Structure 1
Amino acid sequence: MSLRLSTVILPYRRWHEGGRAAWTRAEQLGFHTGYTYDHLSWRSFRDGPWFGAVPTLTAAAATTERMRLGTLVTSPNFRHPVTLAKELISLDDISGGRLTLGIGAGGTGFDATALGQEPWTPRERADRLAEFVPLLDRLLTEDTVSYEGDFYSAHEARNIPGCVQRPRLPFAVAATGPRGLRLAARYGQAWVTTGDPQLYEEGTPEQSVQALRGQVEKLGGACEAVGRDVSGLDKILLTGFTPDRGRPLESLDAFVDFAGRHQELGFTEIVLHWPIPDSDFAADEKVFEQIATDAPAQLA
């Protein structure tokens, strides 16, 4: 299977001051999917411009025609399944069925306390995701849903006419732990990872590949447990968080080597951050565009 290349465009620019141009250019370069982060603010970008994911993707849907669009990722930190489902159905319609929902448990960043709550523990985040995903699955596939859970409720929530994509738009579930991997196996059309965060600072690329191999094996076990063939689940690597950092974007050859090693592990999609000057995602835009246009043929 050939390896797909996608990009994630952070929503830090005004739409008419570079935002729209990036999405248009991403489609011109042939990226499979254009993703954006679904955060209220994020790390070093907290005190600067940052726009909402759903309006950004709506605008991107109106200015592109072929490229798929998605979140990478949405979490329960500030989302509710009922209101999110309505927005997703609308966005899937506006995009003509090009939407993918990347979804995960979220973290301890600014999103975790923006609504005034105390940050949840990893177990509490996993508990919420375990209820969030099945309920969202129902909301996107059934006309009317009522539900009473430990964390979320729905009372005759109506979602007519449903998604353009049937039975619903695809989920790309971000997970590395056993509970998240079970959700990916049961509800996901794709699985997302950024690698092993414990290796980011002092690990080696070789250790990272080995850790990712272990994650893929655990995903296979989770799929087997629910009677599913793991080969039917897309496997997405969001780059920029492995020990390699930005080195794969230093040249076309460096990227092809990096991507090839991960393709051998079973990954079907590699996601690159659109270059942002003076940030962790700084890169030579000419090299980035060369990778987008020339690397797929070398990885086919």
Structure 2
Amino acid sequence: MTPITEVDGRRLALTNLEKVIHPATGTTKGEILHYYAVTAEAILPHLQDRPVSFLRYPDGPDGQVFFTKNPPPGTPDWVRTAPVPRSEDPGARQVVVDDLASLVWASNLVVEFHTPQWRAEKPAVADRMVFDLDPGVPAGVAECCEVALWLRERLAADGLDAYAKTSGAKGLHLLVPLVPTPSETVSAYARALAKEGEAAMPRLVLHRMARSLRPGKVFVDHSQNAAAKTTATPYTLRARPEPTVSAPVTWEEVEARRGLAFRLGDIAARLDRYGELLGPLTDPDGAGRLP
């Protein structure tokens, strides 16, 4: 029998709660749902009013993994959707996860959450900028930290505050709160900074994705600032063998250049210890202006 639970007055059918999703740790779907429920206060501000794309992995990371922007079949009528015009589909809509019931419903599909840098009411007008620091073997998180520290200082010179999180895979994300700015403008600035980083640290930094150049360097991916692109949402689980999380980190942890891998069981204690490290991203008073 499918258990029915009530969340904020919404009745939800939660399925296959004993199913193992992350084989390396034996983490079940029920544990994933519990994680999102107890982390809701932290993750929801980063999801609210942003059209969400889902990377679904219902049979675990070794099963079928597929990316979807359209509302999944069977989306309840009480789950909000917003228009997201696309050249190939002017009438397209996407789910917006605004509340706990919607978060639990989406989590039951077993998903990574990916969101754009803009809000649903202002498509292609970004209120945050992102740099995705992606290391090419043998480079790793230590090299990403070195690049992150350079970027933080360079952004500060332009009056911009940067906040860091793990990607949940092997890299780091830097997020910068902005006064709403056209995505094209943000993209151009981010690309220029990535190129500047490559000029300053040519042995370490790349601003282009060319695979042949990747070994031992950190690709500063600025492309996720484009209006059509998305980034893994803070606190989302990732479709990896272990239940890793895209987790906020302190600059002291970045300076230490190690130990930056967190799983779902680590996050509650980190929230107790540090609070919501990315809180300034959702505070309009903390937003900066591009020079």
What's the TM-score bracket when you normalise by the shorter of the two chains? 0.3 to 0.5
Q: Which is richer in strand? A: 2
TM-score of the superposition, structure 2-length normalised? 0.35
TM-score of the superposition, structure 1-length normalised? 0.34
Q: Which gives a bigger RCO, structure 1 or 2 (Cα 8 Å, sep 6+)? A: 2
